[in-house]
Amino acid sequence: GDKVIPFPLPHCGECSFCLNPESNYCLKCHLSESQSLLPDKTSRFTCKGKRIHHFLWVSSFAEYTVIPEYVVAKIDAAAPLDKVCLLGCGFSTGYGAAINTAKVKPGSTCAVFGVGGVGLSVVMGCKAAGASRIIAVDINKDKLAKAKELGATDCISPRDFKKPIQEVLTEMTGHGVDYSFEVIGHADTMIAALASCNMNTGICVMVGVPASGSMLSIDPMLLLSGRTWKGTLLGGWKMRDSMPKLVSSYLEKKFNSDLLITHTLPIAQVNDGFELLRAGKR
């Protein structure tokens, strides 16, 4: 009868990473070993006699699932599950990228590449951290109004300029932004995000997940001058400890992740949801 939220980044609490207070990685993570099966290498799903795999141990479109204890957290019984489910990955990842990974400072300037659900959560995190200027960057202009509503001070589309977007951002801010976030997962936008933050103290955070096998080729001078380029997994939260606290913060109205919800569909229409996602309408 407990209300729980599963999450895609394990937190075993025992490995060297889990015991490191500065880390939120876990050696049981799917990055170190492809784990579309349960830890004992079995699957508890079948369909018409065929084995079905477990997606990141969460299997979020299944009505019933079996998961390891270290990928689930018990939450406040008062929490509305149809709302706080966003904290299982999307909102937490974006919000934490700004708060935990970048550690955005008050009065700073930020650029967010890609303002889908996770990018909008980055915008909310930058605003909560006290950033004075938050520039939303997206080729889908339909996304920009929501970004403005959630805290973006400027909204731009790369398609409106003839020069590279990093040059546009550098001109807008003088020497580049203090923090940039790539929330798309494309090699070219990752490089643009890195180049758009200032050359000495700028911090670029990779949030988007690149396609398997992707490679990056960059000018090393982008880093030699002092920029920091880092990635984030689930926004830097140690999930079994942080999830109950995030839910409490939601209930205390410290943030409003409900603003990210555009559609609510029954599980039978899950494929319609994916079509809305691909069309850029959610």
Distance CA 125, CA 138 (A): 18
**Measured between alpha carbons, how far is 79 from 251 in angstroms, rounded to an integer?**
7
CA angle, residues 169, 103, 73, in degrees to nearest 5: 125
In this prediction, residue 265 carries a pLDDT of 93
Q: Is 249 exposed, middle or buried (0-12, 13-18, 19+ CB in 10 A)?
A: middle
Whole-model pTM above 0.75? yes
pLDDT exceeding 70 applies to what percent of the chain?
99
How many Å apart are CA 84 and CA 82, to the nearest integer? Answer: 6
Distance CA 66, CA 168 (A): 49
Identity of residue 207: V
Q: Which one, of 238, 205, 200, lies nearest residue 222 by Cα?
A: 200
pLDDT at 254 exceeding the cut of 80:
yes
pLDDT at 59: 86
Mean pLDDT of 192-204: 97
Question: Has residue 3 got a pLDDT over 90?
Answer: yes
Nearest residue to 235 via CA among 6, 7, 2, 1? 7
Pairing of strands 50-52, 45-47: antiparallel
Task: State yes or no: pLDDT of 162 exceeds 70.
Answer: yes
- The fourth-level CATH superfamily of domain 96-235 is NAD(P)-binding Rossmann-like Domain (3.40.50.720)
Q: What is the pLDDT of residue 35?
A: 67
Average pLDDT of 125-129?
97
Confidence band of 131 (pLDDT split at 50, 70, 90) = very high
Residue 75, pLDDT score: 96
The whole-number pLDDT of residue 73 equals 96
Mean pLDDT along residues 95-100: 98
Of 261, 273, 260, the C-alpha closest to 95 is 260
* Distance between CA atoms of residues 44 and 227, nearest Å: 46
pLDDT exceeds cutoff 80 at 281: no
Q: Please compute the mean of the pLDDT values over residues 181-188 and round it to a whole number.
A: 96
User: Taking residues 209-216, what's their average pLDDT?
Assistant: 89
